[in-house]
Amino acid sequence: MKQGPLAGLRVVELAGLAPAPFACMILADLGADVIRVDRAAPGADVLGIPNDPLARGRRSVGVNTKTPEGVELVLKLAERADVLIEGFRPGVAERMGLGPEQVHARNPRLVYGRMTGWGQDGPLASAAGHDINYIGVAGALDPIGRAGERPVPPLNLVGDFGGGGLMLAMGVLAALHERTTSGRGQVVDASMVEGAALLTTSLHGMRAAGVWPGERGENLLDGGAPFYDTYETADGKYVAIGAIEMRFWADLVKVLGLENEDLPMHVDQSQWPRLRKILAEAVGRFTRDELVARAEGTDACLTAVLSPWEAAEHPQNAARGTFVDIGGTVQPAPAPRFDRTPAATPEAPHEKGADTADVLADLGYDDAGVAALREAGAVL
C-alpha cells in the first residue's frame, strides 16, 4: 500500500515529456498508485532518460496503443482509475481511441487531465512549441534578464514545471474534490501558457500600482535594485542578497563592514548605480563561505548561491531531508510535508514495461491472456 495523503488514488499516465510526467510524479510522491503506460518497445527512447526522477514511484506497463488490444487494455485500466493524464497535442488522444468521451463512456467518474502548451483550442492549439515559446507568449519571459539585454530563459522551470505540471496536478486535485459532491469526473485543460501567465499575476498588480515602472532589469525584484541581486565573491562564487526592508538592510551593511561608510539611501533609485558598485566591491573582498559565515545569525538576507548539485549538502537542506538518494541519483524529496500522512521516499523508476505482467494480473488476465496480448504485439 502506498503511503501519503493520496494513498488509494488510482492514476493512469500516458507517458509523455516533462510537464505531464512531473504532475504524475507529484501525485505518486504523495501516495497515489500511478500506472505509467509506456510505449511497447524495448530500450530507451526520446521519452525519457535512464533512472529519470520524473518517472519515479510508479509501475510501468508497455502497451502498443496502435493495436485495438492495446487501446482496450488502457480503457480497462481507466475503468478502475480515478485519474487519467495525457500530454499529447489536441486531438491525438481522440485518434488513439483514448480521448475524454471514449474514456468517460467507460468511467464517468474519472478526472481526465490534459497537458498542452497552448491549450485545447485557439489559433495556436495544434502548433509545435517548447517552454521558451509558451512563456514568451504568456508574458513570463520578457521580464527576466539584465537591463538593456535580451530576455534570459529561466531553464524550463516556468513553463514545463511551474506553469505546466504543477498547475495540472493542482487542477486534477481540484476536480477530484468537486467529484465528492457531483459524483462526476471532468476534463482538466491545463495549458502552459495560461499557467505561466498565472505566475505573473503579482507583476500585473505591481505595474498597475506604479511600483514596477521600469523595463527589464530596472525594477525591485528583477535585478534592478542593488539590494536584491547576486554578487561575485573573491573565490569566483556568488551570493544572493535580498535586503529589501530597512532592518534587513541595516544588518547587511554590518555584515559587509560598511557601517562606517557614507552610504546613499538604499531605496533611492537614482543612487542605485553607485550603491551597486559599493556592494560589488564589498562582497568581492570575501569568499562566498566567509560571507555566509558573517551573515549567520543575522537578518541580512545574504545566502550562498548553490548549484543544484551542491544544494543537498547545505545544512538546512540536510536537516530537513530536502534531497534524497533514489536508485543512486540524488534528487529532491517529495513536497510539501504532512504531519499525519507523510509521504514515503519514492521508489526508483521501474524499467519500461517491468510491471506489465503484474498489472495485467490485477486486471484479471491469466498467463494465456498475457501471452495472447504479447503475441498480438499489444504489450511489452
Over the Cα atoms of the chain, what is R_g? 25
Catalytic residue check, 130: yes
Going by the DSSP 8-state scheme, the letter that residue 53 receives in this structure is G
Q: Which helix (H) or strand (E) holds 190?
A: strand 187-191
Catalytic residue check, 350: no
DSSP reduced 3-state for 83: strand
| CB distance 293 to 227 below 8 Å | no
Which residue in the list 52, 130, 314, 350 is annotated as catalytic? 130
DSSP reduced 3-state for 325: strand
Give the residue among 23, 110, 101, 21 at the shortest CA–CA distance from 60.
21
C-alpha cell of 291?
Answer: 560571507
Q: How many CA atoms lie within 13 A of 182 on its CB side?
A: 13
Phi, psi of 83, rounded to the nearest 5 degrees: -140, 140
DSSP reduced 3-state for 180: helix
Cα dihedral sign for 245, 248, 254, 257?
negative
Cis peptide before 334 (omega within 30 of 0): no
The owner of cell 511551474 is 162
d(CA 253, CA 263): 9
Which residue in the list 82, 131, 160, 189 is annotated as catalytic? 160
Q: Any idea which residues carry the catalytic annotation?
A: 130, 160
